[in-house]
Amino acid sequence: MRHCALLLVTVFFFGYAFGQSNSSSAASQDELARIVGYSMLSGGASDFLESLTDRIGGRITGSPESRETAELILKALKDAGFNTAHFESYEFSPGWTHGPATAEVISPVHRTLIIGSYGWAPGTNGPIEIPVEDIGASGDGHSPLPDRVRGAAVLVTLPSSMTSSLYVGTRMLLAQQLARAGAAAMFIVSDKPDRMLYTSAFLIYPRGPLPIISIPNEDASFLRRLLTHGPVKIHLDVQNSFTKGPVPERNVVADLPGSDPSEMVLLTAHFDSWDAAQGANDNGGEMATVLEAARILKQLKIQPKHTIRFVFFSGEEQSDLGSRAYVQQHKQELDQIRAMINTDAGIQAPLGLKLYGRKDLEPATKKLLEPLAALNASRVFLDADFDSDEESFMVVGVPAYSLAVEPADYHVRHHTVVDTFERIEPRMLALHTAVLAALGYTFASTDERPGKRLSPTDVKELLRRTNLESLYELDYSGEKPY
Ligand SMILES: [Zn+2]
């Protein structure tokens, strides 16, 4: 019943809103109503996501599962009539295989610990027996470390209240510092409930400087309690491996050509995932909604003024590898992109668009979002972070957006064993599809661009103003996109 009620509200709103004048947009209001209505009823994103998560599951970049996913997306696009949909290949290095990881307390008592390895972190070169040391929350990547960390499994707590970019930046700086100090392994205490682990590869790629392990809060508390009574020793075996030489990967690209293809809007989502579960919320659901938005616009024979390009990136979890490759491969046409809209924050209620500090985009964007007010998806957010693939476009000055959503319990589920299809609400997938398809259509149909492409000087100023300069240095060390 709630599904039907929502649809009625939507249709009612559009019937009302379409009677009002809207001078900012050349988008047809009838077309928008058709797009939103079909998106709410199609169920296509949910069907695709169920098939993806059941048949393939987790999809680490460079893996057979990632290859299979790219093929599944391309087939769906071709079946929908996107005849020129294609792969765009790139290489990355090194590849990495997630091996088994085990740990056991061997002194003063015997007890198995739950652990998981972070991505693109090395293994232990066979089983080792090492002491446990705890530096608590004192490690910030800069402050001196105590000598006792040498040769030890070092427990660290990273405050989860930090922004995601500050969090991953601190994590990597601290890992480098621990490796220089001779630590045997870094044990990051998971902030998830119920003995859940959190693992990731972001900024650890291309190669972690030492074994980096996630340990549940409960297991860390046990070790810390033992440490109050005296020395603690563990047996640790982490069997990850790196591949030699470059690994091929692919993005998937499809165009809905505009009547004036001199400009385009990009609707994007990454299809790779972390491997703790099925990558349903990060980022299978979002990817399925971009795909379904493409299929709906095609099926309805929507003719936008400018081209809508759908891009499905691989390699996001490592360091936006796919979107960086895309920017490199398409650098001649970056001026043609009037907006890049990415979605990677979870299938929770959409709220509007994140602008990444681009105040200049705010007036035009607010106008473009007006038709989504009844869906509560017309707000703009100016906060800036390096969250996902929009970063690759932001640093080359392209107007880069992402879909802002209610946080809900994303933080708890993200990259954990419970990122499964069962946790995704089908009606939320439909709502995301509707919002994305509408955004693609409206952004591609206005006469004016929402804003200009920033010059390299303007980008530097934007990074300074948004406090992203130091993370940018860490993220793009040695390699300047501008
Ligand atoms: Zn993601």
Q: Quick one: pLDDT band at residue 313, thresholds 50, 70, 90? A: very high
Q: Quick one: pLDDT band at residue 162, thresholds 50, 70, 90? A: confident
Q: Give the pLDDT of residue 70.
A: 98
How many Å apart are CA 477 and CA 475, to the nearest integer?
6
Q: What is the largest CA-CA distance in the chain?
A: 75
Query: Per-residue pLDDT for 65 more than 50?
Result: yes
The Å distance, Cα 387 to ligand 1 centre, comes to: 8
Q: Quick one: pLDDT band at residue 482, thresholds 50, 70, 90? A: low
Q: Which domains does the chain have, with CATH numbers?
A: 12-92+247-475 (3.40.630.10), 96-242 (3.50.30.30)
- CB count within 10 Å of CB 144 equals 8
Q: Quick one: pLDDT band at residue 351, thresholds 50, 70, 90? A: very high
List, for residues 360-416, the tens digit of each pLDDT value. 999 999 999 999 999 999 999 999 988 899 999 999 999 999 999 999 988 888 899
Residue given tokens 């390096």 in the structure block: 386
The Å distance, Cα 49 to ligand 1 centre, comes to: 15
What's this model's pTM, rounded to 2 decimal places? 0.91
Q: Give the pLDDT of residue 442.
A: 97
Average pLDDT, the chain: 92
List, for residues 91-132, the tens digit of each pLDDT value. 999 999 999 999 999 999 999 999 999 999 999 999 999 999
Q: What is the Cβ-side half-sphere exposure of residue 267, based on CA atoms within 13 angstroms?
A: 32
Q: Quick one: pLDDT band at residue 23, thresholds 50, 70, 90? A: very low
The Å distance, Cα 347 to ligand 1 centre, comes to: 11
Q: Give the pLDDT of residue 164.
A: 73
The Å distance, Cα 249 to ligand 1 centre, comes to: 17
Query: Per-residue pLDDT for 195 more than 90?
Result: yes
> Mean pLDDT, to the nearest integer, of 437-449?
96
Query: Per-residue pLDDT for 137 more than 50?
Result: yes
Buried-exposed string 393-425: b where 16+ CB fall within 10 A, e elsewhere: bbbbbbbbbbbbbeeeebeebbbbebbbbebbe
The Å distance, Cα 346 to ligand 1 centre, comes to: 8
Q: Give the pLDDT of residue 145.
A: 96
The Å distance, Cα 415 to ligand 1 centre, comes to: 9
The Å distance, Cα 339 to ligand 1 centre, comes to: 20
The Å distance, Cα 183 to ligand 1 centre, comes to: 30
User: Strand pairing partners for 234?
Assistant: 105, 130
Residue given tokens 């419970």 in the structure block: 418
Q: What are the DSSP calls for 42-95, one per residue?
A: H-HHHHHHHHHHHHT----TTSHHHHHHHHHHHHHHHHTT-TT-EEEEEEES--
Query: Per-residue pLDDT for 20 more than 50?
Result: no
* Ligand 1 ion: Cβ-proximal residues, 5 Å cutoff: 282-283, 344
